[in-house]
Structure 1
């Protein structure tokens, strides 16, 4: 099969899996379902392919959606989050150390590959830095793909099956039909998505394709230039694409490699998540922030995916997004500096 039919098949499977997960009431069903289904298909070497070309078009939709949740009340609480940031620094050090132990001692990776595989954030950045430092690029890529897969799956299933948190496809704000938006709404939201990308790159933000549109959308909603979120159908389509891309990251690797890396990813991510739980309880005891919200902020998944989980589970999206943005910035800046001093 050529790439186009493979992509179509992956998206069709993703849509069916998302519908099933939605019927089961799982949090973030339209991304979690496609992600798990296409991971299994990748392991089985099914004829699927990642719709990577669609990713740059759907990420701004998510950014605009997340920006629509920002309010003046949330911005007024920025000062309350300083302690969460302060606790994040030792959390990242302990989490990275635990993950490094897994890849170095259990996985037998060389020190460079183990180090950049263990860093809790910045998949693309860690891949580039690790390869430039002499690490095994494929192992670093699979390690971070495994981390994101395991963390998102665990957190999503934990909230749904253990905490009994349910979500709908319309997330926390209800279903937004295409007909709900006026031409003016379409213009503002579309403008935030299109203009936000170069703005994010100009400001040199991590994940500029998401954070740029999120920033402009937040400003537009704060100024009441627009009051609605993007249509739910577009949001669902974006999540299906994202989940499918994540699931197909394991394509091209052997079943043995995938099994080994996912197994190490389970151990590494479990160590990070256990550390995140401990630090979440510590931070919650020092602030008025709920443990569930701090845990989401410290869970080392992808910025976009964890922000979507926060929205789906009714948590403070701005809080979670900002903490993950800071996590990625800290890791990107600190990882090479610490590596040079090791």
Structure 2
């Protein structure tokens, strides 16, 4: 009698071997005292192995659980005191969302200028839409879907988002670590609602945040595994309900699988498919980081918040990765998360209307 299910043993072995490689790289980075060792180590090791042709494999279920874990852990920072502080900074959060939209537009202009007339088989109209959605600082999957509706090259859009997030994850933590050593930056005193592990409380926390994930998935919201857990944990912390913290080993494991999910995208085909486009995406990301640093410094003067916290909050990185960076380096995780969530909502809501307003008339002329 045949089994009711089949196990894909080759894929399972690839996943396990990739996890072992990532774990070894993370432990090496811990020994070398690199920033974010549990995410950067797996990311770099997996990317290098994948580029070399090693059959690495990321498990989507593990990545989802990693985002669920990080979302729940971050939500616990939103205590009543933190929410009160954020309420006084609503104008700065909205300004950060507007900055993200402007940053995406500036990036699209630069990307279009770098590749105008230089990408074979891509007319100027398609290049404009491709550059716009490749530069919009929102969820990669959502931007790729919008790009497809606009007739853009979705493969180039997805590649640009992968490069952007990876460059930010690799550059910012090392820059912040260097700044801490040379400029004596101090950690920001923001702690989660509860600082101890309680088995029963943790089980209830997992159950409640899991329900939030399912609700977000049922309503087809973006990034449901992260945002669903985040919003429920935020409510728990805001109500000052003392359940449990998220143990550090679980948080480290979550960072590891998220690092793997980024690293496995760097296949040989990815690297050789459009090298000029990838190089342009790297240069664009570095330029956006530079102008974001200036904006963060100016916003820090107006708000009194730490400029490095605001750099993480307004940089062109992914929401999960920037929130992890702020949490691990103790640089105001709830502030960064609030800015990033608001930015994500603004970009997902306004990217398509702004594309029609800013770029569609120009594309019709070509």
In structure 2, distance between residues paired with 1:181 and 1:74: 21
Q: Match of 1:212?
A: 228
Alignment of 1:147-158 (within 5 A): 147-158=164-175
Larger radius of gyration: 2
Calculate the aligned-residue CA RMSD, in Å.
2.5
Tell whether the 8 Å contact from 1:100 to 1:118 is kept in structure 2 after alignment: yes
Q: Match of 1:101?
A: 109
Change (3 A) 1:90 1:239: closer
In structure 2, distance between residues paired with 1:204 and 1:81: 29
Change (3 A) 1:6 1:287: same
- Aligned partner of residue 143 in structure 1, secondary structure: helix
Q: What is the aligned counterpart of 1:2 among 7, 10, 14?
A: 10
Deviations 1:41-93 (A, max 9, x none): 22222221222232222221111111222211101112332232343255224
In structure 2, distance between residues paired with 1:223 and 1:79: 16
Deviations 1:199-226 (A, max 9, x none): 3346765422112212222332344433
Q: What is the aligned counterpart of 2:344 among 323, 328, 332?
A: 328
Deviations 1:105-154 (A, max 9, x none): 21345112111111122211110010121111111111000010001111
Q: Match of 2:178?
A: 161
In structure 1, distance between residues paired with 2:93 and 2:199: 40
In structure 1, distance between residues paired with 2:199 and 2:107: 49
In structure 2, distance between residues paired with 1:261 and 1:30: 29
In structure 1, distance between residues paired with 2:339 and 2:174: 22
Is 1:185 matched with 2:193?
no
Is 1:70 matched with 2:78?
yes
In structure 2, distance between residues paired with 1:211 and 1:243: 19
Shift of the alpha carbon at 1:337? 0.6
Tell whether the 8 Å contact from 2:213 to 2:228 is kept in structure 1 after alignment: yes
In structure 1, distance between residues paired with 2:227 and 2:98: 26
Segments of 5+ residues of structure 2 without an aligned counterpart are 1-8, 120-126, 360-366
What TM-score, normalized to structure 2?
0.83
Alignment of 1:126-137 (within 5 A): 126-137=143-154
Q: What is the aligned counterpart of 1:28 among 36, 46, 51?
A: 36
Q: What is the aligned counterpart of 2:45 among 3, 28, 37?
A: 37
Tell whether the 8 Å contact from 1:32 to 1:156 is kept in structure 2 after alignment: no
Tell whether the 8 Å contact from 1:172 to 1:311 is kept in structure 2 after alignment: no
Segments of 5+ residues of structure 1 without an aligned counterpart are none
Shift of the alpha carbon at 1:227? 4.6
In structure 1, distance between residues paired with 2:201 and 2:137: 38
Shift of the alpha carbon at 1:249? 1.6
> Mean alpha-carbon deviation: is it higher for 122-131 or for 231-240?
231-240
In structure 2, distance between residues paired with 1:219 and 1:89: 23
Is 1:233 matched with 2:241?
no
Q: What is the aligned counterpart of 1:275 among 271, 291, 296?
A: 291
Q: What is the aligned counterpart of 1:87 among 75, 90, 95?
A: 95
In structure 2, distance between residues paired with 1:20 and 1:289: 34
Tell whether the 8 Å contact from 1:68 to 1:229 is kept in structure 2 after alignment: yes
In structure 1, distance between residues paired with 2:102 and 2:239: 41
Tell whether the 8 Å contact from 1:280 to 1:298 is kept in structure 2 after alignment: yes
